[in-house]
Structure 1
């Protein structure tokens, strides 16, 4: 394992705890050893990194600058060591993931194929549920990491943006009511819809955007309500109904020419998918998975 310079590691611990004694305990060194390393770093920097007022410790402006770059440097070292372990096939264990429905069906499998090929010694178990369930599973340690479609106001959770999604109006190719590539919002009142059941988080996002363009939810002619995206796609393929679906859920059907997207003037629903975990330090394997997923989708989007 390649280690970051110890003075930088000492500074990061001191900046985290703002207490030299606690910093020393986290590094298994004495408080005087922490003071000595920080003093040497301040001599190299040519300025104070901490302000000391009685028993209180705070970062100076120079300390804040160093902290930003030290955190970046620490991340680089972590990725370096992770890459070396991947190269040598040493990473092993189990990761328990929780994912909301759209993600568990259409996004997570793409990640798992590449992840398993790269790290075959790591086992993955996945549960799917809504955002609240995933938060509960994280808190009771049923899962290590969650991937969800929206944010909640739970301050005990840390959300990190992962992937952009778009919800689009969809119909089967050849639908006689979908001859035009784009429509005006009022045309929606003349369509028949198949949608998810009430309570779906996606429905709420759609409703808000419809209201913004002057269409009330009750004005949609909803002929059928189904419990899953897969059942909606099957229904669309055999009827002249329309639906609103995630772009990630219809990639295969678009490529096969089975479904088509109909643009709506002045209508756009862009949302983010998020990794979610409890505040604090994440385990090494879940963090490896998170970084891998971010890198993989960054590569795909840049192609």
Structure 2
């Protein structure tokens, strides 16, 4: 009796659930776009972290002394003297006095060039570079400046470093939140597509069920099919995201947009991220398809 039954076609389970280019192509495009956006969000969060580290390192290894002009005193001489006092403090690597031209250059982006009168008193700056990890005794330095009779104030950039950290944290939270939303959207799209594929093949599913196939076997067919589709779309999306991030990094991005653009740092993180993105896309698609199909099958029988 059993010898009279036809043998299953060669090619394994793929013949039981063959690909459908008409349905798979739009799903492939949508999944690739979602993977692309997820990679861009992850690279953007990474770029925010790297940018914040760079900026906070610059801020934490520098001080600024603001020397205000006082009637009866030479502001340029006070700035030079302030630089000498700062250079003598332990942990200071370099102290440079800046003149009026430097102060005017800092104001030019906001006030325009040539809009300030020549006799307008401007505070002069002293840039102080410190050794990494050094703790500068700013109280002693301030006392020395006061003893010299200067109208000087020290800014350790602490509030600016905190502002950069907050901005980086916000950018990272946005990137990770967007990543979670995209993962949920991808799972929902795959679940919908799996249910649609199941509905289009009910005759095959019914025949398998009559032959004794269990729900988990049928769900496994959809799981394998959608895993491969997610893997392929993940490769396409990850490659495109890598190309876009490289092009953005090579271009001149505005400083105020640095936190929100994907940055390519050429370190292992970027390669690992883009390498595991297709695998994560395939796993997400497989799990979503299996759960959706298993749920529908339980409701059918």
Higher relative contact order (CA 8 A, sep 6+): 2
Shorter-chain TM-score above 0.5: no
Normalized per residue, the structure richer in strand is 1
Greater gyration radius: 2
